Amino acid sequence: MDCDDTVRRRLEAVRSTLPEGVELVAVSKFHPAGELRQAYDAGQRKFGESRVQELCAKIPLMPDDTQWHFIGHLQTNKVRQLLASRRVALIESVDSVRLLQAIDAESKRLGIISRVLLQVHVAREETKFGFSPEEFAEFFRAGAFRSLEATHICGIMGMASNTDDTARVAADFRQIADCRRLSLDLAPDLRGFDIVSMGMSGDYELAIAEGSTLVRIGTAIFGPREY
Ligand SMILES: *Cc1c(COP(=O)(O)O)cnc(C)c1O
C-alpha cells in the first residue's frame, strides 16, 4: 500500500487557499513522474515544466488529459521539438517577438494553433527574460499580434522581484496586471487576452490580490527541487 500522501496533502492545502476563478499549474520541473502522478491522482491536470527535453520525456509517462504548460526560457532552436509533441496546452514564457514568430511559423507548418502568454519583465534586480513594459506596450500599439496566423496570445505572464519586501512584490504584480490593462486599451480588438499568470509558492497570495488568474506553484506542492 502506498502510504505517502505528502503531495496530495500539500496540493489540497494549496488548493484550499485559491479563490474561485484562479487556476493552478503544478510546477513539476526536476521532480520525477511518480510525484506528478500523485498530483494527477489527486485531481491535478495542469503541470508546468521549464525544459523541453524534460517535458517531452514526461509526456508519455502521464495520462493523455494532462495539460502541459511550458514555463521556462525557450530557445528558438527548441521550438520545433516542443511543438512536435503536439501536447503543449500553453507556452507561458514567450519573451521576444523573434520567439513568437518562430512559434507561429512552426505552428503553421504543423497545422496547429499554439496558445501562448507573453512574458513581461518587471523585477529589476535580476537578469530575467521577458518584454520590458515599454516593449510590451509597443508590441500592442503597433498591432503586431494581428499578423500571427497560427498563434493565439491568451494573456500575460510575469514574476515579481525575489525579495521579502512584500510592498515591492505587490507593486511588481500590480505593474504586470497594469501591462495587460494597457494592452487592452492600446488594442481594443484584442480578443481572449484573459490570462494573468503570476504568483509562485512564496508570493502567490499577493499575486492573487493583484489580479492573478493562474498561479504556478512548485515547491509548496512537490517540496524542494534537487537540481
Ligand atoms: C520554477 C518556477 C515556478 C515555481 O516556483 P516555486 O517557488 O517552486 O513555486 C514558477 N514559475 C516559473 C516561471 C518557474 O520557473
Could you read off the pLDDT of 62-73 as tens digits, one per residue?
999 999 999 999
Q: Report how far ligand 1's centroid is from the alpha carbon of 186 (Å).
A: 30
Distance 189 CA to ligand 1 centre (A): 32
Cα angle, residue 208 at apex, residues 174 and 157 outer, rounded to 5°:
60
For atom 13 of ligand 1, the residue with the nearest CA is 71
96, with CB counted inside 10 A (0-12, 13-18, 19+), is: middle
Q: How confident is the model at residue 170 (pLDDT cuts 50, 70, 90)?
A: very high
Q: Please tell me if the CB atom of residue 76 comes closer than 6 angstroms to any atom of ligand 1.
A: no
Kindly state if the Cβ of 50 falls inside 6 Å of ligand 1.
yes
Nearest-atom number in ligand 1 for the CA of 92 is 13
Q: What pLDDT shows up at residue 226? A: 84
Which helix (DSSP H) or strand (DSSP E) does residue 63 occupy? none
Q: Contact at 8 Å (CB) between 197 and 216?
A: yes
Q: Please choose, from the candidates 86, 45, 102, 47, the residue with its C-alpha nearest in 3D space to the C-alpha of residue 69.
A: 47
Ligand 1 centroid–CA 147 distance in Å is 31
Model confidence over 72-117: pLDDT tens digits?
999 999 999 999 999 999 999 999 999 999 999 999 999 999 999 9
The residue whose CA has the least distance to atom 6 of ligand 1 is: 218
Q: Which three cell numbers stand for residue 74?
A: 525557450
Q: Whose CA is nearest to atom 12 of ligand 1?
A: 71
Please tell me the distance between residue 1's alpha carbon and the centre of ligand 1 in angstroms.
Answer: 31
Work out the angle between the directed axes of helices 133-141 and 166-186 (0-180°, nearest 10).
10
Average pLDDT over residues 136-161: 95
The mean per-residue pLDDT over the stretch 156-165 comes to 95
Q: Please work out whether the CB of residue 160 comes within 6 Å of at least one atom of ligand 1.
A: no
